[in-house]
């Protein structure tokens, strides 16, 4: 336990001492926030307003902003919790390139403990960035249209926590195989560019064809995005109903922004989404630790 604590402390200190690694982690949510608030917000606004007008419903600016804002910040957090983990989880590669890994592995420390320490320190640093991004997102909603309850906020924090754990576990499994800074950079770029699409953050999965929908339903990240959407938008949808929106219209909007996800035609409930995310986290951590143990045994 002391070894794990010492290694995690070392890794975390190194993360914050490396300004490049720290700022590159911070920059992902910042870029997404700027991108969403300056460009995508207007597109989403117009799309919502025209859809509601076509349905014959009138909507206040506050509810519209709350709805669009909720969609934007849920997308932002869904992407950044995972991509920030990839940007933060570089120390295991840096230790290989610098040779520090040799200095660690000549000690009696178990490889599983060493691997888990990278996971814990990355989780810690990614959580700091993710919670900062969540705080900024909540402040943004407070300004444009706040319809969240304390329970919603608590569940959002849980979602961010779980999604960050998931992103860290996923990045640990992938980065485990990388040995150079170039490979790490390439993987980071691919994940930053692609993850938003496959988790339904950049474009709702409901817009995709059935085949692609079925494929994406196998990816746990999509349920993470859906959880965030549900909790960020629950209050707004409740307010729409209070303002007399027909249930069908509200349900249609919920469908269109992936609040309801299906797995081969069967609706996935919120509880099941949590179960999928938690099981994925445990599975990925298990795989990662096993890979570390096998790597250790191969050396002996």
Partner 1 sequence: MADMIQIEHLKKCFGDLCAVNDLSFRVKEGELFAFLGVNGAGKSTTINIICGQLKKDGGNVKICETDLDKEPDLIKRSLGVVFQGSVLDKDLTVKDNLESRAALYGIHGTKFKERLSELARLLDFEDLLRRPVGKLSGGQKRRIDIARALLHKPKILILDEPTTGLDPQTRTLLWGVVEKLRKQENLTVFLTTHYMEEAADADFVIILDHGKIAAEGTPLTLKNTYTGDFITLYGVSEDDIKKLGKPYERIRDAFRVSVPDTHAATELIIKNPDMFRDYEITKGKMDDVFLAVTGKSIGITGGEQ
Task: For the segment 167-206, give every residue that binds partner 1 (CB under 8 A).
Answer: none
d(CA 233, CA 70): 6
- Footprint of partner 1 on residues 90-129 (CB under 8 A)? 98-100, 102-109
Query: Which DSSP string corresponds to 258-281?
Result: TSSEEETTEEEPHHHHHHHHHHHH
Closest to 196 measured CA to CA, from 39, 28, 21 = 28
Helix (H, G, I), strand (E, B) or coil at 109: coil
| Interface with partner 1 (CB under 8 A), residue from 3, 45, 251, 255 | 3
The yes or no reply on residue 50 touching partner 1 (CB under 8 A) is no
User: Applying CB under 8 A, which part among 5-13, 118-126, 144-152, 256-264 lies near partner 1?
Assistant: 5-13
- CB of 121: closest distance to partner 1 in angstroms? 12
Q: Which is nearer to partner 1, 10 or 41 (CB)?
A: 10
Give the nearer residue to partner 1 in terms of CB position, either 14 or 216: 14
Q: Is 41 in the site for partner 1 (CB under 8 A)?
A: no
- 252 Cβ contact partners less than 8 Å away, ≥ 6 residues apart: 55
Closest distance of CB 103 from partner 1, Å: 4
Which residue lies nearer to partner 1 by CB, 102 or 241?
A: 102
The b/e string for 114-128 (b: 16+ C-beta within 10 A; e otherwise) is bbbbbbbbbbbbbbb
- Residue 15 or 223 with smaller CB distance to partner 1: 15
Strand partners, 262: 267
The HSE-up count of residue 127 (CA atoms within 13 Å, CB side) is: 15
Q: Is 10 in the site for partner 1 (CB under 8 A)?
A: yes
Does the footprint of partner 1 cover residue 60 (CB under 8 A)? no
Examine residue 18 and tell whether it contacts partner 1 (CB under 8 A).
yes
Phi, psi of 146 (to 5 degrees): -100, 120
Q: Does 291 bind partner 1 (CB under 8 A)?
A: no
- Give the H or E element holding residue 140: helix 111-144
Cβ neighbors of 206 (< 8 A, separation 6 or more) are 213, 255, 256, 257, 258
Query: Which residue in 179, 33, 17, 215 sits closest to 93, CA to CA?
Result: 179
In angstroms, what is the minimal distance from the CB of 100 to partner 1? 5
Shortest spacing between CB 178 and partner 1, in angstroms: 19
Cβ 109 to partner 1 shortest distance, Å: 5
Q: Which residues of the shown chain bind partner 1 in the complex (CB under 8 A)? A: 2-3, 5-7, 9-10, 13-14, 17-18, 98-100, 102-109, 298-300
């Amino acid at each position: 336990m002391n070894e794990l604590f010492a290694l995690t402390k070392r890794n975390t200190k190194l993360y914050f001492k490396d300004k490049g690694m720290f700022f590159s982690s911070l920059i992902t949510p910042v870029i997404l926030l700027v991108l969403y608030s300056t460009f995508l917000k207007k597109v989403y606004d117009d799309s919502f307003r025209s859809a509601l007008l076509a349905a014959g419903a009138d909507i206040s600016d506050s509810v519209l902003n709350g709805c669009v804002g909720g969609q934007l910040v849920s997308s932002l957090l869904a992407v950044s919790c995972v991509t920030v983990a990839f940007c933060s989880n570089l120390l295991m590669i840096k230790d290989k390139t610098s040779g520090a890994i040799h200095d660690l592995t000549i000690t009696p420390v178990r490889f599983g403990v060493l691997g888990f320490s990278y996971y814990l320190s990355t989780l810690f640093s990614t959580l700091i960035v993710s919670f900062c991004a969540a705080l900024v997102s909540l402040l943004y909603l407070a300004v444009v249209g706040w319809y969240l309850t304390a329970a919603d906020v608590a569940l959002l924090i849980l979602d961010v926590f779980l999604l960050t754990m998931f992103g860290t576990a996923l990045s640990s499994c992938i980065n485990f195989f990388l040995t150079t800074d170039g490979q790490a950079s390439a993987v980071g770029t691919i994940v930053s560019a692609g993850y938003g699409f496959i988790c339904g953050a950049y474009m709702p999965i409901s817009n995709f064809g059935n085949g692609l929908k079925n494929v994406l339903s196998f990816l746990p990240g999509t349920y993470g995005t859906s959880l965030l959407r549900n909790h960020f938008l629950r209050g707004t949808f409740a307010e729409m109903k209070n303002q007399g929106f027909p249930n069908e219209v509200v349900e249609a909007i919920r469908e269109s922004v992936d609040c309801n996800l299906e797995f081969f035609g069967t609706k996935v409930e919120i509880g099941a989404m949590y179960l999928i995310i938690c099981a994925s986290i445990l599975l990925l951590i298990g795989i990662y630790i096993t890979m570390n143990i096998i790597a250790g045994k191969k050396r002996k």
